């Protein structure tokens, strides 16, 4: 029964949309303002609402809800679903901390979880360190032609799909790859450096994958800063790093927060780069989720793990935003 509660929610959403449209016409104090239906006619209005509702419900809300309810059920073959063995349980969530079969701490998964989170934090930091000077240059220092060229160089590699990009990095970084060959060829090293085994490849791949996602929010934020403010600070005697500390970074904080949030979230949830570029002993948390869904066919546990990751990331991001005194609204400005 509980499995089907979720299908009542669409009705609630429809009701929500209806209330919203009522609210909209109420808020229209402006006498020339026409309500949504007056503007579009009844037929079109209904079609619009129905389409948006359909999109939201079937493509956004329902799959998530289905996953949520899935995660609170035991793993059962299809025939037994809804039967006496089907009940609401948090055992899937528990299994993340304690191995169900042995009763020991589930160190493998816990370690993968923290490794993924910490690596993502690291990748975010590296990305910021690379992108901030780049964005600053593009937004304030560079001439138009150079900035255009730079943007092109940044964007074009992203026309190639993610998997191909990860693979080509692998080719570069492998023991017999281009970089090792070159370094050995010119005699800097005698034995190849194990970039992939030491997770170097993973860090590089992840940083590279989300470069653009960091650059553009930073660029947008810094670009709107009045050049005169930078010059005013300089005129008052500030050396360059104090100008950044006191004027540019405080101003760009919403952009920084938004770039860092996105890079962190995407990196923690990434799949391709860790699979292709991680070392043999590296276990990425999303790979575990993936395996539960597609190798073990254990959807409930996979869903539970996915939500653990999602919740952890959200809490982490909110905590960081709070720490740096940025409101969530500012990051999507």
Partner 1 sequence: MSSGVELDHITVKFGNFTAVKDATLDIKSGEFFSFLGPSGCGKTTILRTVSGFLDPSSGVVRIGGEDMAGIGPNKRPTALIFQNLALFPLMTVSENITYGLRVRGADKAARMKRADELLELIALPDQGKKLVSELSGGQKQRVAIARALAVEPKVLLLDEPLSALDLKLRQHMRNELREIQKRVGITFIYITHDQGEALTMSDRVAVMSDGEILQISDGKTIYDSPATSFVASFVGENNPMPGTITKAGKTGAVLKTAFGELRGANPHGLKVGDKAILFVRPESISLGKGAADATITSQILNVAFEGNVSHIFMKGAGKKELSVTVGRHGGAEIPAKGAKAAVSYDPGYAVVLPEGKMARE
By CB under 8 A, tell whether 250 contacts partner 1.
yes
What is the distance, to the nearest Å, from the Cα of residue 2 to the centroid of all Cα atoms in its chain?
Answer: 31
Based on CB atoms, which residue is closest to partner 1, 82 or 250? 250
224 touching partner 1, by CB under 8 A = no
Q: Which one of residues 36, 93, 122, 251 is an interface residue with partner 1 (CB under 8 A)?
A: 251
DSSP 191: S
The smaller minimum CB distance to partner 1, of residues 198 and 229, is found at: 229
Residue 223 interacting with partner 1 (CB under 8 A): no
Considering only residues 160, 239, 295, 328, which one is a binding residue for partner 1 as defined by CB under 8 A? Answer: 239
DSSP 324: T
Q: Does 330 bind partner 1 (CB under 8 A)?
A: no
CB of 321 to partner 1, least distance (A): 17
Between vectors from CA 65 to CA 121 and to CA 53, what angle results, nearest 5°? 110
Q: Which two tokens stand for residue 99?
A: 């191995």
- Closer of 111 and 333 to partner 1 (Cβ): 333
Sign of CA dihedral 159, 164, 170, 173: negative
Binding-site size, partner 1 (CB under 8 A): 17
The residue whose two tokens read 């194990």 is 194
The Cα–Cα gap between 263 and 188 comes to 34
User: Residue 333 interacts with partner 1 (CB under 8 A)?
Assistant: no
Among positions 38, 89, 161, 229, the unique one binding partner 1 when judged by CB under 8 A = 229
Separation of alpha carbons 48 and 53, rounded Å? 8
Nearer residue to partner 1 within complex by CB, 111 or 227 = 227
For the bound state, the minimum distance from the C-beta of residue 201 to partner 1, rounded and expressed in Å, comes to 40
Residue 242 C-beta: closest distance to partner 1, Å: 5
Residue bearing tokens 């005194």? 325
The residue from 83, 185, 237, 280 that contacts partner 1 (CB under 8 A) is: 237
Task: Tell me if 246 contacts partner 1 by CB under 8 A.
Answer: yes
Our finding on whether 238 is near partner 1 (CB under 8 A) is yes
Smallest gap from Cβ 297 to partner 1, in A, equals 54
Write a three-state SS string for 62-105: HHHHHHHHHHCCCCCCHHHCCCCCCCCCCHHHHHHHECCCCCCE
From the number of C-beta atoms within 10 Å of its C-beta (0-12, 13-18, 19+), residue 135 rates as buried
CA atoms of 9 and 305, how far apart (whole Å): 23
- Using CB under 8 A, list all residues that contact partner 1: 226, 228-229, 231-239, 242, 246-247, 250-251
């Amino acid at each position: 029964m509980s499995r089907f509660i979720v299908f009542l929610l669409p009705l609630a959403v429809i009701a929500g949309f209806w209330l919203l449209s009522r609210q909209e016409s109420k808020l229209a104090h402006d006498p020339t303002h026409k309500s949504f239906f007056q503007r579009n006619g009844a037929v079109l209005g209904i079609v619009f609402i129905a389409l948006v509702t359909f999109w939201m419900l079937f493509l956004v809300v329902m799959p998530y809800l289905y996953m949520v309810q899935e995660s609170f059920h035991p793993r059962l073959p299809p025939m037994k679903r809804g039967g006496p063995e089907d009940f609401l349980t948090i055992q899937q969530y528990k299994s993340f901390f304690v191995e169900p079969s042995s009763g020991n701490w589930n160190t493998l998964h816990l370690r993968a979880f923290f490794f993924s989170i910490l690596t993502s934090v690291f990748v975010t930091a590296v990305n910021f360190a690379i992108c901030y000077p780049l964005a600053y240059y593009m937004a304030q220092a560079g001439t138009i032609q150079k900035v255009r060229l730079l943007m092109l160089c940044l964007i074009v590699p992203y026309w190639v799909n993610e998997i191909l990009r990860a693979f080509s990095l692998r080719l570069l970084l492998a023991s017999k790859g281009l970089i090792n060959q070159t370094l050995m060829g010119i005699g800097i090293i005698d034995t190849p450096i194990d970039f992939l085994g030491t997770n170097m490849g993973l860090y590089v791949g992840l940083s590279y994958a989300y470069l653009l996602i960091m650059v553009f929010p930073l660029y947008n934020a810094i670009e709107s800063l009045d050049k005169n403010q930078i010059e005013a600070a300089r005129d008052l005697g500030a050396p360059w790093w104090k100008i950044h500390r006191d004027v540019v970074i405080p101003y760009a904080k919403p952009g920084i927060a938004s770039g860092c949030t996105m890079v962190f979230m995407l990196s923690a949830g990434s799949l391709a780069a860790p699979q292709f570029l991680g070392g043999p002993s590296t276990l990425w948390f999303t790979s575990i989720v993936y395996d539960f869904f597609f190798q073990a066919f254990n959807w409930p546990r996979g869903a539970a793990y996915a939500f653990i990751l999602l919740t952890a990331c959200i809490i982490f991001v909110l905590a960081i935003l709070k720490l740096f005194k940025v409101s969530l609204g500012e990051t999507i400005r």
